[in-house]
Amino acid sequence: MTKHSVVRRIFSIVMAMALVLSLGMTSLTVRAAGEPVKELSIHDLPADFSGKTVILHSNDIHGAIGRYGYIASVKQNLQSRGAEVILVDAGDFSQGTPYVSTTKGLDAVASMNAAGYDLITLGNHEFDYGVTQLKANLATAKFGTVCASFLDGNGNSVFTPHTIITKGGVRVGFYGLVTPETMTKVTPSFVKGYTFLEKDALYKCSQEQVDQLKAEGADLVICLAHLGVDEESKLNACRSVDVFPKTKGIDLMIDGHSHTVMTASSNNLPIQSTGTKLQDIGVVVIDNASKKIEDHYLVSLEGLQKEVITDAVTTAIIKRVDAEYGQSFGKSEVELNGAKAPGNRTEETNLGDLITDALLWSVSKNAGAITVDKDHIVAITNGGGIRAAIHAGAITKKDINTVLPFGNTVAVVYVTGEELLEALEASTFAAPDAIGGYPQTAGIKFTIDTKKSFAQGPAYPASTYHKPASINRVTIESINGQPFSKTDTYAVVTNNFCADGGDTYYVFKNASAQFDTGIVMDEAVMDYVKTELRGTVPASKYGQPRGDQTQLK
């Protein structure tokens, strides 16, 4: 469900070839996560799509705007073969690289306008810049937006919940759902006063949308969902594989959020998803005469050429950002781990060490900024906020902004030792499995006993995560080499997202005191490399994780 390794990809291709040769049929592979994948090349598609309506879809593009030219090309190609085409996206298009984050998502919309999108739903990252900015971005869109499960303070959908698009005489109904994890996957204050439906309320909403679309004459109902199938979301029961069985009448669910490549779920539900960054393009073929879905699959980018108008728009954006962000300011002697799992969402990494060292340094260099002794100052950042690797060699501003794209600032929260334990226990509840809140730390030496189960207490307010009923997995061995005390007050240097209770860090939201330094995280890291490390990330210090975390498995 994260980006597949080269080895797994090769394995899938080999298995697909074996199936083709032995069965004489279209390739059907099973990826490492267990989801079946039917994948074709553009050359495998029928020459004639007359009498067909085709839905093309993407999800989790995350700022890879240079690839919009490919999906625009497929749209144009299928239209030339006689198809009526509807182009849709399942969310998370406005965050992930400087090509979209530098304009707070606006350039993503401009790119999608050029590609000819018809309809989208919202992902959690569309809310990274706040609801006001999101609405301003979408005001420039030439495409529609559907999202039924995001409500205002009066309980009404903020955006159009559903719509019908008619092509080739077929009335295709679409409705949108966004993950309730958004409540804590964006800075909570950005969505304060709004509601993201979850569990029974989400199931009810889904059924209501299907019923209303059927009542309005939809021949088919497609759910544009940003829910995913991640194991780390299983307890919340709000994934696409949870919602689909609770809803009668969905013909197909187009999903996002977990970056899964699939044409059906592992339990064979009709849920399709294209991975991330347009690694594949989703295709749904509808027969106009029968008004039924006759096929759905993914198209690889192999053999595709970019559509020139879309490519010109996105290339201009890329060149502009590269000119500003492409200059080198330092170098790294080592590869700094930007992976999700195994990586920043499962264990201590050398990149996590570098970032938390930079956070500590950015605050501690200012004498008097923190009111506890130096040996009581630590740093924590959520692993889910680390989005890419830093490769050995030259480092540019664009590299750091890609690793830390959210524009978060450095904040300080004051907590007791007992509250610090709660934060670590809550944020490692899934270990050794991945969780976005997994703590990358500096100054804390601790152990996680993964043989013990997480003692789940009540859900944190406005969160899909839970307070630990007891501390039974995490043991803090020492703080900056000194004995740990549950009753002492510690200053935790973190980011404003965690300080506001994001991810699993609700305890930070209620800290006895906190302040925001205003220092942007990526600037803190760049300043640390340039000044403290004198322009070089040394292998002697960051060649391996420093070993502050131990997992007992």
Average pLDDT, the chain: 92
Q: Rounded mean pLDDT of 360-371? A: 84
Torsion 105-109-110-114 (CA) sign: positive
pLDDT higher than 60, residue 145: yes
What was the pLDDT predicted at 28? 42
Give me the pLDDT at residue 11, please.
Answer: 34
List domains and CATH numbers for the chain: 6-319 (3.60.21.10), 326-552 (3.90.780.10)
Q: Among 111, 8, 5, which residue's Cα sits nearest to residue 68?
A: 111
> Got the DSSP string for 204-251?
HHHHHHHHHHHHTT-SEEEEEEE----GGGGGGT-SHHHHGGG-S--S
Given a contact cutoff of 8 angstroms between Cβ atoms, the answer to whether 189 and 229 are in contact is no
Report residue 365's pLDDT band, with 50, 70 and 90 as the boundaries. Answer: confident
The pLDDT-based confidence of 26 (bands split at 50, 70, 90) is very low
Query: Which tokens hold the place of 549?
Result: 């975390």
As a 3-state breakdown, the chain gives helix, strand, coil percent values, each rounded to 5, of 35, 25, 40
In this predicted structure, what is the pLDDT of residue 364?
Answer: 84
pLDDT in tens, 437-463: 999 999 999 999 999 999 999 999 989
- pLDDT tens for each residue of 485-517: 999 999 999 999 999 999 999 999 999 899 999
Q: Which tokens is 472 given?
A: 């039974």
Query: What mean pLDDT do residues 222-227 have?
Result: 98
Q: What are phi and psi of 113, to 5 degrees?
A: -60, -45
Q: pLDDT value at position 414?
A: 97
- Average the pLDDT over 210-237 and give the result: 93
What is the structure's pLDDT at 369?
79
Q: Which 3-state string (H, E, C) describes 18-68? A: HHHHHHCCCCEEECCCCCEEEEECHHHCCCCCCCEEEEEEECCCCCCHHHH
Say whether pLDDT at 295 is over 90: yes
Instruction: List pLDDT tens digits, range 153-180.
Output: 999 999 999 999 999 999 999 999 999 9
- Confidence at residue 35, expressed as pLDDT on a 0 to 100 scale: 73
Six token digits for residue 422: 């709660």
Query: How far is CA 396 from its chain centroid?
Result: 23
pLDDT of residue 22 exceeding 50, the answer is no
Residues 6+ positions from 415 with CB-CB distance below 8 Å: 423, 489, 490, 492, 507, 508, 511, 512
Q: What is the mean pLDDT of residues 74-94?
A: 97
Confidence at residue 34, expressed as pLDDT on a 0 to 100 scale? 60
Task: Say what the pLDDT of residue 550 is.
Answer: 96
Peptide bond into 432 cis (omega under 30): yes
Residue 16 confidence (pLDDT) above 70: no
**Tens of pLDDT, residues 186-198:** 888 899 999 999 9
Query: pLDDT by residue (tens digit) across 233-279?
Result: 887 889 999 999 999 999 999 999 999 999 999 889 999 999 999 99
Query: What's the whole-number mean pLDDT along residues 138-148?
Result: 98
Q: Is 547 buried (19+), middle (13-18) or exposed (0-12) by CB count in 10 A?
A: exposed
Model confidence band, residue 367 (pLDDT cutoffs 50, 70, 90):
low
